[in-house]
Each structure stands twice: as structure tokens, then as C-alpha cells.
């Protein structure tokens, strides 16, 4: 039954009682204020007062229901903004993947075209001049180049497959984000009573929820995030945050899950409005004290060699987080000014998804840079090969010219070595070896 319906019913009841009182007064006047009529009138009056009080209670309930509806509307708007932001991030990632894929394809086509053009020019000019030995030398030169081309093609295929996989995974993550948020909220509410009055169990449960969110975030344990990682200050003080998350550019984020929610549990279970208000104040004090304690630890000074970005203070129960922010609108900003960001399961999931997407984009950029570097080395190697190939052709030309000059001296003209050897033979010189008939014939033809 809605708040408006309750209010209407209570109003009708009060109106009916008012009519009864009026009727009683009228009868009392007509019957000279008899004792029986006066008694009934008093009863009607008492019931009227009781219903009036009940009506006030219903009005108060109606106001509380209205406030709850307003809080739900605010939460819905925040969720819609979060979903919109994630969908925008997905669109940007897909666009960047398409641009990188096009660049890689263009680079591969250019290398193939340049290679074919240069190779065809060289082979057309020098093919007829090469002997079998030259061909074997060329194969030896081309073998390392072929291996590099195969490696380059494999790297491009892997990058393309990773891009397709990431696009598909991002769609799935957007769909599961809502499911994870609803599930975490439901689990938090179901376990609130079970954890009441046991701070250690409550802390362990908060760490369990945090680790569960991390496992579903897409980040890799001991790669992008670390559990219970300890480090020491220059003075020897040892610190062990619940979680340390690594960001690109060697930045870090610390997540703390040790916040106490005892006062909030008292607030939820209490029925007395005044006592309930006192528990709410204690809940705010507990959160503020925890914020102060985190800031006083000064992780920035003790994380030697690490660029600490900020600290996430994880509140594992969604309503506890929302109730505190609604009760004190300045609480979030006060924490932020101290370098601390308050997060609930919903906002932590969204933050980790964004970090995971950032890492995937970073890895893609690294692959693109590696591909570009490999392409540069490949092109430089190919240019060197082309230069060596051209030198081989020049050496063959020079060798051919030297060979022709030597052959002219050997067999061409009357003063050639073949001609003089024949003259010696005609003069009676005898030797064990004879000149080749082909050589003599070539000399005569010349």
C-alpha cells in the first residue's frame, strides 16, 4: 500500500469521527445532555484524538517513504551516469583499436610493396649475371630477412586477435557490471546481521568482498594488483596495505578495507528515532576517524620509489556508504582533500574496470611501438641488403670486364699469348702439353 493511500484512509477516518462527534453534540442538545449521550460523546472524542495521532504517524511515514524514493532516484541517476561513462570509454577504445589496426595494415602493405619493387628491379638487372654460387649467397642473405618478416607477420596477427578479444570482452564487462553491483549489494545486506558485534569477522568479510571484486575486475594478481604487499619507511616502520594497485607510468593506488561499520549496524537495527539519530552520528564519526587515521599514515612518504596517486577507502556495505554521504554531503570532499577517495562496491567495480581498460590500452600501445620498432629495423636491414646486393652486381660487372681483358690478351691478335705459343711450336719447340683446340680456334676467329 502506497504512502498516498495510507494518508487518504487516515483522513477519511478522522472525517468520519468528526461527523460522529458532531452528531453526538446534536443529540446531546436535543435530549437535554443526558449522561448516556455525554458518555458516548467522550468516547467519540477519545477515538478522534487517537485517530488524529495515528494520522500524524502516517504522515511521518509518508514523508520517510518519500525521502527513500528520492534517495533511490539519486542512486539510479548515478548508476546511469556511470553506465554512460563506461559505454563512452568502450567507444573510445574501439575507435583506437580500429585506428591501430588500419595503421598496422598500411605499414604491412607499404613494406610488401617496397620490397617487391626493389627486389624486382634488382632481379631484372642482375639475374642473368649470377652463377649458382651467387644464388646460394643470396639465399643466405635472404634467410634472416625472411625470418624477420615471418616474426613481424605473427606479431601483427597476435595484436589483431587481441584487439578483437578486447572489444568482445569489454561488451561482456559492461553487461556483468550491473549484475556484480546488484549481487554485492544483496550479499552485503544479507550478511550485515551475521557480522554484527564481531569487528574482526567484519574486517575479514570486507577483505573477502574486496578480493572478490578484484578477481572479477580483469586485473591480474601480482601483475597489476598485489595483496598484503609490505614495505618499510626510511625510519624502518613497516606498512602492509590491504591492496596495492599498479597504474601505467609507475603510479600506484592503495585500497583499505578495514573501516568499522558497527555504528551503522546499530543504526539499522534501532527503532527509536532519537537513538537511531545518535547511532547515525556515531557512524559518521567512525568514518571520519578512519579517514583521519589513513591520512596520518602518510603512505606517500613511506612508499619509497613509488608514485602514490591516492588511497581508496572501501566501504563494503553499499547502504552504509550512501547513508553517510546523504547525512553529511561534505564527507566525500573532506576525504578527497586528504588524498582519500571513499568507494562502495558499485563505485569500486567501476573504478577497477576503468583501470583494467587503461592497462589493456597501455599494452596495445606498447605492442604498436614494438611493431613500429621492428618495422624500422626490418626496413633498415632491407636497405642494407639492397645495397649489398647492388655491390655484388658491380663486382660481377668488374670481374666480367677483367675476364674479357685477360681473354683478349690471351687469344686476340698477332701479339696474343696463343699466337706467340703457336709460333714457338712452329719453330720446333716441343712440350709435353698442348694448347686447347678450342682456345686455338677462338684465337684464329679473333
Strands (E), 132-230: 225-227
The predicted structure's pLDDT at residue 150: 61
Domain membership of residue 403 (yes or no) is no
For residue 90, with 0-12 CB atoms within 10 Å meaning exposed, 13-18 middle and 19 or more buried, which class applies? Answer: middle
Query: Does residue 79 lie within any of the structural domains?
Result: no
From residue 281, alpha-carbon distances to 118, 196, 215, 294, 325 in Å are 80, 18, 34, 20, 12
Domain final position from 65, 85, 108:
65
- What count of other Cβ atoms lies within 10 Å of the Cβ of residue 254? 25
Q: Does residue 441 share a domain with residue 306?
A: no
In a domain? residue 323: yes
Residues 432 and 300 in one domain: no
Find all residues with CB under 8 Å of 414, minimum gap 6, and list them. none
Tell me whether residue 46 is in a domain: yes
Q: Are residues 212 and 335 in the same domain?
A: yes
Say what the pLDDT of residue 98 is: 67
Q: Has residue 102 been placed in a domain?
A: no
pLDDT for the residue numbered 207: 83
Same structural domain, 222 and 318: yes
Q: Residues 306, 438: one domain?
A: no
- Dihedrals phi, psi of 228, to nearest 5 degrees: 50, 40
Could you say which of 322, 343, 364 is where a domain stops?
Answer: 343
Q: What is the pLDDT of residue 129?
A: 55
436, 301: one domain: no
Residue 244 lies in a domain: yes
Q: Are 203 and 328 contained in the same domain?
A: yes
Q: Which residues of the chain have a pLDDT value below 50?
A: 31, 111, 115, 119, 194
336 and 426, same domain (yes or no): no
Residues 432 and 335 in one domain: no
Domain for residue 393, yes or no? no
| 329 and 417 share one domain | no
d(CA 135, CA 139) in angstroms, rounded, equals 6
- Give me the number of domains the chain comprises: 3
Domain with 53 in it: 3-65
Of 290, 321, 343, which residue is a domain's last?
Answer: 343
182 within some domain: no
Between CA 150 and CA 127 the distance in angstroms is: 25
Looking at residue 119, its pLDDT comes to: 47
pLDDT at 115: 47
Amino acid at each position: 500500500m502506497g504512502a498516498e493511500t495510507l494518508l487518504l484512509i487516515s483522513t477519511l477516518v478522522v472525517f468520519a469521527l468528526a461527523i460522529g462527534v458532531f452528531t453526538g453534540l446534536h443529540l446531546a442538545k436535543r435530549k437535554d445532555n443526558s449522561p448516556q449521550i455525554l458518555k458516548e460523546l467522550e468516547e467519540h472524542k477519545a477515538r478522534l484524538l487517537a485517530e488524529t495521532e495515528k494520522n500524524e504517524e502516517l504522515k511521518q511515514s509518508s514523508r520517510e517513504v518519500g525521502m527513500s524514493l528520492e534517495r533511490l532516484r539519486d542512486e539510479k541517476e548515478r548508476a546511469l551516469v556511470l553506465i554512460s561513462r563506461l559505454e563512452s570509454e568502450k567507444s573510445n577504445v574501439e575507435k583506437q583499436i580500429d585506428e591501430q589496426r588500419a595503421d598496422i595494415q598500411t605499414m604491412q602493405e607499404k613494406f610488401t610493396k617496397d620490397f617487391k619493387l626493389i627486389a624486382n628491379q634488382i632481379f631484372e638487372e642482375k639475374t642473368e649475371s649470377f652463377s649458382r654460387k651467387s644464388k646460394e649467397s643470396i639465399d643466405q642473405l635472404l634467410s634472416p630477412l625472411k625470418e624477420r618478416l615471418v616474426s613481424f607477420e605473427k606479431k601483427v596477427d597476435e595484436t589483431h586477435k587481441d584487439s578483437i578479444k578486447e572489444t568482445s570482452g569489454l561488451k561482456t564487462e559492461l553487461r556483468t557490471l550491473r549484475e556484480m553491483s546488484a549481487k554485492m549489494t544483496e550479499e552485503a545486506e544479507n550478511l550485515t546481521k551475521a557480522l554484527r558485534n564481531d569487528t574482526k569477522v567484519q574486517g575479514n568479510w570486507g577483505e573477502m568482498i574486496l578480493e572478490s571484486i578484484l578477481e572479477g575486475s580483469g586485473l591480474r594478481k601480482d601483475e597489476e594488483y598485489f595483496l598484503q604487499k609490505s614495505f618499510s619507511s626510511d625510519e624502518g616502520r613497516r606498512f602492509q596495505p590491504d591492496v596495492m594497485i599498479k597504474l601505467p607510468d609507475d603510479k600506484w593506488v592503495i585500497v583499505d578495507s578495514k573501516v568499522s561499520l558497527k555504528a551503522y549496524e546499530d543504526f539499522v537495527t534501532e527503532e527509536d528515532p532519537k537513538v537511531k539519530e545518535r547511532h547515525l552520528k556515531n557512524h559518521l564519526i567512525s568514518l571520519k576517524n578512519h579517514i583521519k587515521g589513513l591520512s596520518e599514515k602518510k603512505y606517500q612518504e613511506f612508499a619509497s620509489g613509488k608514485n602514490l596517486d591516492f588511497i581508496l577507502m572501501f566501504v563494503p556495505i553499499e547502504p552504509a556508504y550512501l547513508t553517510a554521504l546523504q547525512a553529511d554531503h561534505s564527507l566525500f570532499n573532506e576525504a578527497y582533500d586528504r588524498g582519500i577517495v571513499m568507494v562502495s562496491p558499485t563505485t569500486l567495480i567501476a573504478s577497477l574496470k576503468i583501470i583494467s581498460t587503461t592497462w589493456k590500452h597501455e599494452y596495445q600501445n606498447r605492442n604498436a611501438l614494438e611493431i613500429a620498432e621492428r618495422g624500422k629495423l626490418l626496413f633498415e636491414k632491407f636497405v642494407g641488403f639492397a645495397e649489398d646486393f647492388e655491390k655484388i652486381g658491380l663486382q660481377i660487372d668488374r670481374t666480367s670486364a677483367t675476364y674479357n681483358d685477360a681473354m683478349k690478351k690471351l687469344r686476340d691478335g698477332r701479339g696474343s699469348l696463343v699466337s706467340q705459343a703457336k709460333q714457338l711450336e712452329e719453330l720446333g719447340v716441343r712440350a709435353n702439353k698442348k694448347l686447347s683446340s678450342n682456345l686455338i680456334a677462338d684465337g684464329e676467329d679473333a
